[in-house]
Structure 1
Amino acid sequence: MAATTHTVTNQVPPLVGHDVFAADRALSEAVERHVAPGVLPVALEELGELGRAAGSAQVQEWGARANAHPPVLRTHDRFGHRVDEVDFHPSWHRLLGHAVSAGLTDAWGRPAGHVRRAAGFLVWTQAEAGHGCPLSMTHAAVPTLRTDPALAAEWEPLLTSHTYVEGLRNPMEKAGALLGMGMTEKQGGTDVRSNTTRAEALSGADGYLLTGHKWFCSAPMSDGFLVLAQAAGGLSCFLVPRVLPDGTRNVFAIQRLKDKLGNRSNASAEVEFDGTWAHRVGEEGRGVRTIIEMVAATRLDCVVGSAALMRQAVSQAVHHSAYRRAFGGLLIDKPLMRNVLADLALESEAATVLAMRLAAAYDEDTDEERAFLRLAVPAAKYWVTKRCSAVVGEALECLGGNGYVEESGMPRLLREAPLNSLWEGSGNVQALDVLRALQREPRALDAFLREVGRARGADHRLDAAIKGLLTELADLEGVEARARRVVERIALVLQGSLLVRWAPPEVSDAFCASRLGGDWGSAFGTLPHSLDLASVVARARPDADQRRGRGSDGG
Structure 2
Amino acid sequence: MDPLPPFATHRVENQPPPFAPRDLWSDDAVLRDAVDRQGGAGFAAQLAGYGVLAGGEIYALSFDAHRDKPRLRNYDAYGHRIDLVEFHPNYHAIMRAAIEHGVAGLSWHDPRPGSHVARAALSYLHHQVEPGTSCPLTMTHASVPVLRHAPALGEWMRKAAAPHYDGRDVAGADKAGLTLGMGMTEKQGGSDVRANQTVATAIGNDEYELVGHKWFFSAPMSDGFLVLGQAAGGLTCFLMPRWHPHGGKNALRLMRLKDKLGDWSNASSEVEFQGAWAQRIGEEGRGVATIIEMVMLTRLDCMLGSAAEMRMALAQALHHARHRRSFGKPLIDHALMRNVLADLAIESEAATELAIRVAGAIDRAPVDPREAAFARIATAIGKFWICKRAAAFVNEAQECLGGAGYVEESILPRLYRQAPLNSIWEGSGNIQCLDVLRALSREPEAGQALLAELERARGRHPALDARIDEIAAALRAGALPQESQMRLWVERLALALQAALLLLAGRPGADGFCRSRLDGAHGLGFGTLPGDLDLEEILQGALPT
Normalising to structure 1: TM-score of the pair?
0.94
Report deviation, 1:54: 1.3
Q: Distance in 2 between matches of 1:147 and 1:409?
A: 41
Distance 2:26 2:46 in 1: 11
How big is each residue's C-alpha offset from its partner over 1:482-527, in whole Å with a ceiling of 9 and x where there is no partner? 00000001111111111110132x2111111111111110000000
**8 Å contact from structure 2 (residues 481, 489) kept in 1:** no
Equivalent pair of 1:394/1:524 in contact (CA under 8 Å): yes
Which residue number in structure 1 is paired with residue 77 of structure 2?
A: 78
- In the other structure, the counterpart of 2:161 is 160
Q: Which residue of 2 aligns with 1:12?
A: 16
1:266 partnered with 2:266: yes
Letter in 1 for 2:377: L
* Pair 1:24 & 2:28 matched: yes
* 2:493 match: 490
SS in 2 for 1:349: helix
Q: Please list, as runs of the form range in 1=range in 2, the aligned pairs for 1:278-427 lying within 5 A after superposition.
A: 278-365=278-365, 366-427=368-429
Q: Which aligned runs of 4 or more in structure 1 are off by greater than 3 angstroms?
A: 470-478
- The one-letter code of the counterpart of 2:301 is D
1:222 to partner: Cα distance: 0.4
- With over 3 angstroms needed to count, the CA separation of the structure-2 counterparts of 1:201 and 1:540, relative to structure 1, is same
Residue of structure 1 in register with 2:121 after alignment:
119
Q: Contact 1:469–1:486 (CA<8 Å) still a contact in 2?
A: no
The Cα of 1:59 is off from its aligned counterpart by: 2.3
- CA RMSD across the alignment: 1.4
- Answer yes or no: is the 8 Å Cα contact 1:170–1:246 preserved in 2: no
State the 1:325 CA deviation.
0.5
Aligned residue type for 2:225? F
2:140 to 138, 141, 147: 138
Preserved contact between residue 234 and residue 286 of structure 2 (Cα < 8 Å): yes
Once the two structures are TM-superposed, the CA of residue 373 in structure 1 deviates from its matched residue by 1.1
* CA contact 1:76–1:83 (8 Å) conserved in 2: yes
| Pair 1:96 & 2:124 matched | no
| Displacement after TM superposition at 1:478 (Å) | 5.6
Quote the offset at 1:261 in angstroms.
0.2
1:174-193 alignment, distance < 5 Å: 174-193=175-194
Equivalent residue letter for 1:95: I
Letter in 2 for 1:417: A
Count of residues paired in the alignment: 535
Q: What is the rounded CA distance, in whole Å, between the counterparts of 1:461 and 1:169 in structure 2?
A: 58
Cα distance in structure 2, aligned partners of 1:515 and 1:498: 14
**Alpha-carbon shift at residue 206 of structure 1 (Å):** 4.3
Residue 234 of structure 2 is aligned to residue 234 of structure 1: yes
Distance 2:91 2:479 in 1: 48
- Write the distance in 2 (CA, Å) between the matches of 1:377 and 1:126: 20
Q: Work out the percentage of aligned pairs sharing the same amino acid.
A: 53
Instruction: Please name the residue that 1:449 is paired with.
Output: 451
Instruction: Give, in whole Å, the separation in 1 of the partners of 2:69 and 2:356.
Output: 31
Which whole-Å CA distance do the structure 2 matches of 1:275 and 1:3 have between them? 69
Do the aligned partners of residues 4 and 48 (structure 1) sit closer, same or farther apart at CA in structure 2, a change above 3 Å counting?
same
Contact between 2:261 and 2:417, CA under 8 Å: does it hold in 1? yes
State the Cα distance separating 1:246 from its structure 2 match.
Answer: 2.8
Contact 2:206 2:280 in 1 (8 A): no
Unmatched 5+ residue regions in structure 2? none
Asked if 1 retains the 8 angstrom alpha-carbon contact of 2:71 and 2:85, the reply is: yes
For residue 5 of structure 1, give the secondary structure of its aligned residue in structure 2: coil
Task: Answer yes or no: is the 8 Å Cα contact 2:474–2:480 preserved in 1.
Answer: no
TM-superposed CA distance for 1:335, in Å, is 1.0
Q: Equivalent residue for 1:51?
A: 51
Amino acid at match of 1:492: L
For 1:7, the aligned partner's letter is R
Give how far 1:3 is off: 5.2
Quote the Cα distance in structure 2 between the aligned partners of 1:123 and 1:135.
13
C-alpha distance in 2 between matches for 1:330 and 1:286: 60
Distance in 2 (CA, whole Å) between partners of 1:348 and 1:14 is 22
Map Cα deviations across residues 455-481 of structure 1 (whole Å, 9 max, x no partner): 111111110111223345546466101
Aligned residue type for 1:374: R
Q: 2: distance between equivalents of 1:472 and 1:66?
A: 49
Rounded Cα–Cα distance in structure 2 between residues aligned with 1:363 and 1:119: 13
Letter in 2 for 1:173: D
Separation of aligned partners in 2, 1:484 and 1:471: 19
What is residue 458 of structure 1 aligned with on the other side? 460
Task: Work out whether residues 179 and 226 of structure 1, in 8 Å CA contact, stay in contact via their aligned partners in 2.
Answer: yes
Give the secondary-structure state (helix, strand or coil) at the position aligned to 1:360.
helix
Question: What is the deviation of 1:147?
Answer: 1.6
Q: Deviations over 1:93-134 (max 9, x none)?
A: 011000000111121334311111110110111221100000
Conservation of the 8 A alpha-carbon contact between 2:30 and 2:352? yes
